[in-house]
A and B are shown apart, each in its own frame.
Chain A
């Protein structure tokens, strides 16, 4: 028990000394969700290509003009297609993508319940 207490104390000390980061930078959040067309395995945030740099400044500019995150995605989607977004929208193309894992989860649960005779006590 004593060790546990010490552990808690140490933890509190570490955490209170911790400098809390300010609000997450929205520009970074958006560019992490954009896929770079030049280095196609990387996000715009991670990439250093000319294209990625332009997109970064575009996002910056659009945010300053007061555009919302969604409007920026829409703007880029019209120009480069759905492919540019890492976070696929819930649409007829992606119903299966989003729902299939959840359905499989439920299905798995149903199989477990049916197969095993689970007793309370």
Chain B
């Protein structure tokens, strides 16, 4: 029943889509006042998709296995929380969530844009409706979450256990708010180009949308990363896996956009560049959807692959790209009066340099992710591009990047000088000594680390100084940059100073190292709602006599029959202690891994700092208005 209602509200949603388009076109021709009908129908469309989404949730909660999506992804013994979150833990449901967020943002745009010109608002909604319609067709044609199966199965196939996790339950909605938020940027930019409305007013109006999408995207990536840390692999949090890269690309584009839209807002420079970036942000999100959903790349996170879906998104993606190209080349006119002269020591220069580096990072990620596809098509050779590639190409470029991040905000718009600022050099020297003192190792690979740490410290000290001396004049920027320095420092220390033990132990065994002993004390079994749990108790005693009890767990899920290894993590202020156990085929012993990972919590914390930088800049604007 709920599935049926869900399905028909989706179909109604498509019809509304055509109605909105009709009224919008009519209103666009005679833009005297904004037609109220467009508002009403947009609301209606949002509610219809919401009902459809709720219908799917109800089907999941009731374990209605006559619904194919529920059958494939749920099970009666699954806890209620994961029945609900299972709704968007699969391809069909997550696309419905996309659609929901798309229509939500269309409604929000109408509400928030009432001071904007009527024709601009209508045209933006038209472009947005085009995207919405595309997704409607995609969902209904290739990935309907409401397919009916007969005879009705008694039991479902269950949700992949690694997805039964609180962080991953809220990760998709937040991430999609970021991805889809960029669709509004896309639509409004195209509308502004067609109407020649790219201006300072437009920049400050669109800035909010950029920052909102950026905040959600950052948080979404953070959640995914935290999940990967405790659930996937052995304590890594970023694997340069295609599905991660795909979220990083729009993030890099958005971050660049945040910076250069400031230049547009202040000096009406870089207009075409802002347009290109705004368009590519959503295009990159869509491109990511294509790469992940079509199964063209293999990654840790694969959805059920279906070539038909891949083809649909591919055609949809490139239709959007060619449409944007047409709009850009046909309608975009550079303002003749633009003065391209800028002073070397100015905020403009520093932001242009920021953009330059960000685009380089983006190109590394984009090329690294898609290159294997190109190579295979052209020469049918298969290669892998993994973490070493990205590290080698990105790490050295971070050094000047960090430097400009420290210096840039010191510069004023148009023209400034740094002659009276001796502390800039002083701090660099302090940072260098501090870094040498910490690393104390002069091999080539460590030399790079030393320099990187130097510059990260440099940014760190300079931003700390600004907190103290500037009296929160530009708190948001300073907080974000401070967070970034902390982020780089934490990652470097986390990498350089990690301790790791890998060994095989039986119950009763003790493993000794110079600094600590690991004693495998006992093993206990418990039956939980939908899995059997085996918990090991290991005692770590370090040379100073302090004791830590670690209880890593193995879970054997009933449906689907998959065993997972749950790490035991003791999070501390300075380091995380991380332990996993694993079964070894045909052996009595377990594979035990123990790691001490320094500054782990600081990595998460620094990302939150960066995000709060964005949040503050938005709130400040509201406050000033």
Contact = CB atoms under 8 A, between A and B. Distances in A.
Q: Do A and B bind each other?
A: yes
Interface in A48-103: 48, 50, 53, 81-88, 93-94, 96-98, 100-102
B367 A101 contact: yes
B381 A86 contact: no
Interface in B436-480: 437-438, 440, 461, 464-465, 468
A4 B470 CA distance: 14
A118 B574 contact: no
Interface stretch (B131-139, B231-239, B308-316): B231-239
Contacts of A15: 437-438
B326 interface: no
The 8 closest A-B pairs by CB, nearest first: A86-B386, A46-B233, A41-B300, A87-B388, A117-B341, A105-B360, A101-B364, A83-B382
Interface of B: 232-234, 236, 239, 241, 298-302, 340-344, 349, 352, 356, 359-360, 363-364, 367-368, 371, 375, 379, 381-389, 392-393, 397, 430, 434, 437-438, 440, 461, 464-465, 468, 496-500, 502, 515, 565, 574, 582, 584-585, 591, 598
Given A108-B356, A112-B356, A100 B375 contact: no
A91 to B, nearest CB: 9
B500 to A, nearest CB: 7
A108 B360 contact: yes
Nearest to B235: A46
B598 A41 contact: no
A69 B382 CA distance: 22
Contact of A41 (B241, B468, B499): B241
B363 A19 contact: no
B574 A14 contact: yes
Contact of A85 (B384, B392, B584): B384
A10 to B, nearest CB: 12
B598 A88 contact: no
A105 B362 CA distance: 11
A104 B582 CA distance: 45
B360 A4 contact: no
Given A19-B515, A118-B349, A88 B360 contact: no
Contacts of B438: 15
A7 B464 contact: yes
A116 B178 CA distance: 33
Interface in A1-54: 1, 3-4, 7-8, 11, 14-15, 18-21, 25, 28, 32-33, 35, 39-43, 45-48, 50, 53
Nearest to B497: A21
A97 B368 contact: yes
Given A15-B438, A18-B598, A101 B360 contact: yes
A28 B298 contact: no
Contacts of A11: 434
A43 to B, nearest CB: 7
A82 B371 CA distance: 14
B296 to A, nearest CB: 14
A119 B381 contact: no
Given A105-B397, A108-B356, 10 more contacts: A4-B465, A4-B468, A7-B464, A8-B430, A41-B241, A41-B300, A43-B233, A83-B384, A86-B389, A97-B371
Contact of B342 (A86, A104, A105, A118): A118
Given A3-B468, A84-B384, A28 B500 contact: yes
A116 to B, nearest CB: 5
Contacts of B302: 41
A67 to B, nearest CB: 19
B360 A119 contact: no
A86 B388 CA distance: 7
Given A116-B342, A117-B340, A83 B465 contact: no
Contacts of B584: 53
10 contacts: A15-B437, A15-B438, A21-B497, A28-B502, A42-B300, A85-B383, A101-B367, A102-B393, A108-B359, A118-B344
A88 B340 contact: no
A93 B392 CA distance: 18
Nearest to A88: B383
Nearest to A89: B383
A20 B388 contact: no
A100 B382 contact: no
A98 B389 CA distance: 8
B341 A119 contact: yes
A104 to B, nearest CB: 5
B367 A100 contact: yes
Given A97-B368, A112-B352, A121 B360 contact: no
A105 B383 CA distance: 24
Contacts of A8: 430
